Structure 1
Amino acid sequence: MDYQLITDSCCDLPLELVERFDLDIVNFTITISGKELIDDMGKTFDKTSFFNRLKEGETASTSQINVHAYLEKFKKYVEEGKPVIYLGFSSELSGSLNSARQAKQMLEEEYDDVDLTIIDTRAASLGEGLLVYEAALKKEAGMSKEDLVKWVEDNKLNYHSWVTVDDIKHLQRGGRISATAATVGSLLNVKPIIILNREGKLVPFSKVRGRKKSLQFLIDQTVKNIRDEEDHAVFIGHVGVPEDADFVREKLLEKVSPKEIIISSYGPTIAAHTGFGSLSVFSYGEER
């Protein structure tokens, strides 16, 4: 029986992949300078302009997806009798997944048959996107809903995220670090390295001095931790720095031979938190 894959706009997949796999998307919203914008995977959202505003020092806030939005999204498939898998943004980073679960409970009170599986990917950005992409490939190849749910649950903690933030002052503006830490970090040219842990929470992993060293750190850690590379893609995400993403791709290909490497910019929801210049590498490896 056919089924529908749904994810949210924090997966940051390129629009062409969303359309290729007929993924349905639940959209986050972003507020910048008092104006609310919809993260629509680049259909109408001007990411370049948004990234430049971040580069100039503007800050943006994001809002979790509410229960009503999930009800509207899921209800259509319930009424059609079409099974659904929802692959959601880490519950440690947003309350959105809880909203999805509440929406499912409300639908189960209204309808007799609700074939809806909600999965916490414990991932974000193109780490979530990589898991969704490889799940979509398996669906495209004919994997059943039950088998795909099992595969995702069995493999989701094998997806690694290596993240560096270039604009440490952006973390201060967003209230994520103190002014003192930001000033010292800027003077020393410190670049934080962040990962997602087993719970799907962003945690500090290391600090290096200088942009080139931070990019090399991501490359080295990816090479060290990658597994079964010939069967999996590597994703590289960035905020307004495609030339750095190309550099990382070239250096990775000198050491490893993944099935493919896909480069894509972050969506605005994630970029609002990382700031301009952030870059990440996502790959399949040993369980976190």
Structure 2
Amino acid sequence: MTVKIVTDSTSYLPQNLRRELDVDVISLNVHLGNESFREVEIDNHVFYQKMAACKQFPTTSQPAVQEFVTVFERHVQADEPVVAIFLSSKMSGTFSTASLARQMLLERYPQAEIEIIDSKSNSMEMGLAVLNAARAAKAGKTFAEVKAAAEHTIARSRFLFVPEKLDYLKKGGRLSSAAALIGSVLQIKPVLTVIDGAAEVFSKVRSAEKALDLILSTFLADVKEKGFGEAVVHHINNELEGYRLAARIEKELHVTPAIIPIGPIIGCHVGPGALGIAYYTKDASTLGAAANASAIRTQAVAGTAH
């Protein structure tokens, strides 16, 4: 039977790719003032407009365990193995809740094959692992091979991003008030990354231009050393700058990366205006890289993630 792929909404996979590769997405929730939304059901622009107008800082919550049980059980009853890839366990309880759902189902279906993978990241750094797992599943690979495709991608991936302001990181508890104040006064721009599942400062520079130069040069150095696998440009309500960053990548590598917006769950903690690159490298030949980039770009145009 074909292996089924499940992920959560913070992978930000374009809708058309989700449909084409038959990926199930379980949504996290965002709460703003007196309103609550499933992330997959609110338009990014609408959410960020609401966030700007609201005096309260948004909060987020993971899916209920029954949501995982429902999705997993549908495939288990169809005798379909499941590989599920979720948001870092250090950023959310989503992975733990999915693992609980797995245990609940194994008590009822001892022969079920359900693998829960901690992506140790979020956004399209996770999404790229989901894509490669889904591609392997569609190609008829075994349960073990599909799992390996995801883990292989995770081990070779990186996500570098630059927030426009430090306020949201401070409000969300990702940055101390003192660090945010010093950064604002001195106009310091931190370049952030995700290491072993947690957001970390990769470097600090004195301007947004230098920060973008740094993430681009780091990306290009990784590609030169290890080979190009796939890449996407991420932005948080900052599409124009996303296109500019993608154009710089295209000029250097002659591939056009997809430009994919980050939705409310991650966006409310990092803040509008952020830019970044999520990518993975490969150790062997870079043949096929342009085709992969083009495939994502084509689908992303029609299937913007929410």
The TM-score normalised by the length of structure 2 is: 0.85
2:199 to 171, 186, 202: 202
The CA deviation at 1:139 is 2.5
Whether the 8 Å contact between 1:54 and 1:276 is mirrored in structure 2 is no
Question: How has the CA–CA distance of structure 1 residues 56 and 210 changed in structure 2, closer, same or farther, with 3 Å as cutoff?
Answer: farther
1:129 to 116, 127, 130: 127
The CA distance in 2 between the partners of 1:218 and 1:187, in whole Å, is 23
In the alignment, is residue 67 of structure 1 matched against residue 65 of structure 2? yes
- Amino acid paired to 1:228: G
In the alignment, is residue 270 of structure 1 matched against residue 266 of structure 2? yes
**Residue of structure 2 in register with 1:228 after alignment:** 227
The CA distance in 1 between the partners of 2:183 and 2:71, in whole Å, is 43
Q: Secondary structure at the match of 1:123?
A: coil
1:103 to 101, 104, 126: 101
**Residue of structure 1 in register with 2:297 after alignment:** none
Residue deviations 1:152-178, cap 9 Å, x none? 223311011101111212222223333
The CA deviation at 1:54 is 3.8
Residue deviations 1:196-244, cap 9 Å, x none? 11x2221111112222222212111111112321xx2211111111111
Aligned residues: 280
The CA distance in 2 between the partners of 1:57 and 1:282, in whole Å, is 30
**Residue of structure 2 in register with 1:238 after alignment:** 235
Q: Secondary structure at the match of 1:207?
A: strand
User: Where does structure 2 lack aligned partners over 5 or more consecutive residues?
Assistant: 284-306
The CA distance in 2 between the partners of 1:253 and 1:32, in whole Å, is 38
Q: Secondary structure at the match of 2:253?
A: coil
Question: How has the CA–CA distance of structure 1 residues 180 and 156 changed in structure 2, closer, same or farther, with 3 Å as cutoff?
Answer: closer
Whether the 8 Å contact between 2:2 and 2:137 is mirrored in structure 1 is no
Q: Secondary structure at the match of 1:215?
A: helix
Residue deviations 1:5-60, cap 9 Å, x none? 111101011112112212111110001113111011xxx41210212344557521
Where do residues 48-197 of structure 1 align in structure 2 (5 Å cutoff)? 48-55=45-52, 59-197=57-195
- Amino acid paired to 1:263: I
Residue deviations 1:89-128, cap 9 Å, x none? 1112111111111111111112232111111121211111
The CA distance in 1 between the partners of 2:203 and 2:184, in whole Å, is 16
- Amino acid paired to 1:147: E
The CA distance in 2 between the partners of 1:235 and 1:276, in whole Å, is 18
User: Where does structure 1 lack aligned partners over 5 or more consecutive residues?
Assistant: none
What percentage of aligned pairs have identical amino acids?
Answer: 26
- Amino acid paired to 1:253: E
Question: How has the CA–CA distance of structure 1 residues 15 and 90 changed in structure 2, closer, same or farther, with 3 Å as cutoff?
Answer: same
Whether the 8 Å contact between 2:188 and 2:205 is mirrored in structure 1 is yes
